Chain A
């Protein structure tokens, strides 16, 4: 199970989360997004970049609430809400956006 792009081969698990987090690149994010039927735009990137910087600091993806608060600050209240996040990432901002951002899947009762 792997993503192929520009001569790179990147392993992923059964659900498409990359196995080795350091394999992530922006080009790869586009490849993963395409597999998820998402065309990355500026707003998708805003979310992905926030997830990655939060992960770098805390070693975990942020709670949806934290993400939405951050988005509200940068993109305004009409976009900083759960509904809009699901418009951007139909399978959920936590799981699908994490996959594109090259982060592990949140586990547990979530």
Chain B
């Protein structure tokens, strides 16, 4: 079932403004959810007969409840600062993927029904009626936004464009048009406990297998405990960490760090997912239900701390919303951040000197780092501004000798989306994902020309899976994407671990880049 081959955008510079290609992505739609995907989430199974009324009701409710949303709808002055800031616009050239134009697909309808000018003189103010075609246009273009919020950084009013996308998706779900990918996954969280649908016995088997692998590699027994009551730390990590490459290597890295730090920790089979796709579909109630599972797991297991693994949007939900959604967390030890990021934990251990690190074990890697959007623009990792940029780089520099940053216009708060965030990491959007990755890939290619960069590290499960898929389209191997804790795992020498140096042999000649 081969789709037509995607034409890879050729950019001279990562942030090249493309030639306009009106209608280039018109009609692109991810698979629409079936009733069995919508209903468990509390949405109608399919398009309701009174969809127009229901959609406008929902829009009114959102504008009423969420003051920010109303302000964002009212205040855009069309200055154009955001137009060329979206990776999907740069990659596709479709003018409706200019953030301002994409937002206006919804704003024009809001104006028609909720503003004086739009009610009486719609033709004067670009207001338009809500029709079924408009609904499906929303469905198409609001699934060409990954809610990465790069455009918001450049908006002089600070309009949070992701809020508009979330609201549009919420309104659509409310009238029965849900996205199959996200909704099917949320259903699995409710039924099984994680996005993958990995049941407890399979999870237990997976973790045992990883323990065997670490022992085989190092000769040291390192545990990956599951559902252990009384452990101090609950690790909540994306289920991709149990399944996909290079995610699994990161998970083994966390385990080694916990082992060396001498802390007791556990994974929960009930809350075996950090990801919260409730945010992607813009639905508060689902976001809350998913978050409450973490609270329940923490209470049932009696832990004192919660640490999140490498997952971008999960960290946004955890850092910014967890307390509102599922708090108060007064039953946890308040001497530690609630919740804490795994990189904060690892950086703390590195500073304390707990970890014996041999950086040369990553010498076969010439690395750069991709700031994941939700961590970069929506949170901190430590307790000071900018810690979300510094701490990952501090850890990387502690475990890796060859490191260079990409163009500053594409990192830190200006980082580009990987192209697969916000519920778009699905095969039915592969063409969009490849094109949307063009700016990031171009920035990396430039670094490769200048410094011979071979690998890219990230701290988000979606980024890792997305890059595995798109790197080969841009001339890299699929395994050129690494987990940051995979680098830590490579470099750390466990207490009691026999190294080849000990045995009097030259250092391991790791695989060629």
Q: List 25 A-B contacts (CB under 8 A).
A: A14-B31, A15-B1, A36-B1, A57-B201, A59-B202, A60-B196, A60-B197, A60-B202, A63-B242, A63-B243, A63-B244, A65-B213, A86-B478, A106-B196, A107-B195, A107-B196, A108-B185, A108-B195, A109-B195, A109-B244, A109-B425, A109-B464, A110-B244, A110-B247, A110-B465
Smallest distance from the beta carbon of A86 to chain B beta carbons, Å? 8
By a CB distance below 8 angstroms, the chain B residues around A110 are 196, 240, 243-244, 247, 461, 465
Q: Does B179 contact A (CB under 8 A)?
A: no
By a CB distance below 8 angstroms, the chain A residues around B181 are 107
Measured CA separation A108–B188 after assembly (Å): 9
Q: Does A74 contact B (CB under 8 A)?
A: no
Q: List residues 28-53 of chain A with CB under 8 A from any CB of chain B.
A: 35-37
Across the interface, do B209 and A69 meet the contact criterion of CB distance under 8 Å?
yes
Across the interface, do B1 and A60 meet the contact criterion of CB distance under 8 Å?
no
> Which residue of chain A is the closest to B313 with respect to CB atoms?
A109
Measured CA separation A66–B436 after assembly (Å): 32
Q: How large is the interface on A (under 10, 10 to 19, 20 to 34, 35 or more residues)?
A: 20 to 34
Smallest distance from the beta carbon of A6 to chain B beta carbons, Å? 21
Chain B residues within 8 Å of A, Cβ to Cβ? 1-2, 31, 181, 184-185, 188, 194-199, 201-202, 205-206, 209, 213, 238-240, 242-245, 247-248, 275, 311, 425, 427-428, 461-462, 464-465, 478-479
Measured CA separation A82–B248 after assembly (Å): 14
> Which residue of chain B is the closest to A14 with respect to CB atoms?
B31
Smallest distance from the beta carbon of B245 to chain A beta carbons, Å? 6
Across the interface, do A95 and B427 meet the contact criterion of CB distance under 8 Å?
yes
Measured CA separation A65–B210 after assembly (Å): 9
Contact with B along A46-85 (1 / 0, CB 8 A): 0000000000011110011110010000000000001000
> Which residue of chain A is the closest to B249 with respect to CB atoms?
A65
Instruction: Known pairs A82-B245, A109-B238, A109-B465; list 6 more (Cβ under 8 Å).
Output: A14-B428, A58-B201, A59-B199, A82-B479, A109-B240, A109-B247
> Which residue of chain B is the closest to A86 with respect to CB atoms?
B478
Known: A107-B188, A108-B185. A64 touches B209 (CB 8 A): no
Which of B2, B194, B242, B243 is within 8 Å of A37, CB to CB? Answer: B2
Smallest distance from the beta carbon of A5 to chain B beta carbons, Å? 17
Measured CA separation A37–B275 after assembly (Å): 34
Measured CA separation A73–B198 after assembly (Å): 24
Measured CA separation A55–B197 after assembly (Å): 12
Across the interface, do B201 and A64 meet the contact criterion of CB distance under 8 Å?
no
Across the interface, do A106 and B243 meet the contact criterion of CB distance under 8 Å?
yes
Measured CA separation A15–B31 after assembly (Å): 10
Which of A14, A82, A94, A108 is within 8 Å of B239, CB to CB? Answer: A108
By a CB distance below 8 angstroms, the chain A residues around B238 are 108-109
Smallest distance from the beta carbon of A17 to chain B beta carbons, Å? 11
Measured CA separation A58–B378 after assembly (Å): 37
Interface centre among A36, A59, A65 (most CB of B within 10 A): A65
Measured CA separation A51–B211 after assembly (Å): 22
Interface centre among B31, B194, B197, B248 (most CB of A within 10 A): B197
Smallest distance from the beta carbon of B336 to chain A beta carbons, Å? 26
By a CB distance below 8 angstroms, the chain A residues around B201 are 57-58
By a CB distance below 8 angstroms, the chain A residues around B248 are 63, 65
Across the interface, do A107 and B244 meet the contact criterion of CB distance under 8 Å?
no
Smallest distance from the beta carbon of B277 to chain A beta carbons, Å? 9
Across the interface, do A64 and B199 meet the contact criterion of CB distance under 8 Å?
no
> Which residue of chain B is the closest to A54 with respect to CB atoms?
B202
Across the interface, do A66 and B239 meet the contact criterion of CB distance under 8 Å?
no
By a CB distance below 8 angstroms, the chain A residues around B239 are 108-109
Measured CA separation A85–B307 after assembly (Å): 34
Measured CA separation A14–B181 after assembly (Å): 12
By a CB distance below 8 angstroms, the chain A residues around B244 are 63-64, 94, 109-110
By a CB distance below 8 angstroms, the chain A residues around B185 are 107-108
By a CB distance below 8 angstroms, the chain A residues around B428 are 14-15
Smallest distance from the beta carbon of A106 to chain B beta carbons, Å? 6
> Which residue of chain B is the closest to A35 with respect to CB atoms?
B1
Across the interface, do B194 and A108 meet the contact criterion of CB distance under 8 Å?
yes
Measured CA separation A107–B187 after assembly (Å): 11
Contact with B along A88-110 (1 / 0, CB 8 A): 00000011000000001011111
Smallest distance from the beta carbon of B428 to chain A beta carbons, Å? 7
Interface centre among A60, A63, A95, A106 (most CB of B within 10 A): A63
Smallest distance from the beta carbon of B361 to chain A beta carbons, Å? 20
Measured CA separation A14–B433 after assembly (Å): 19
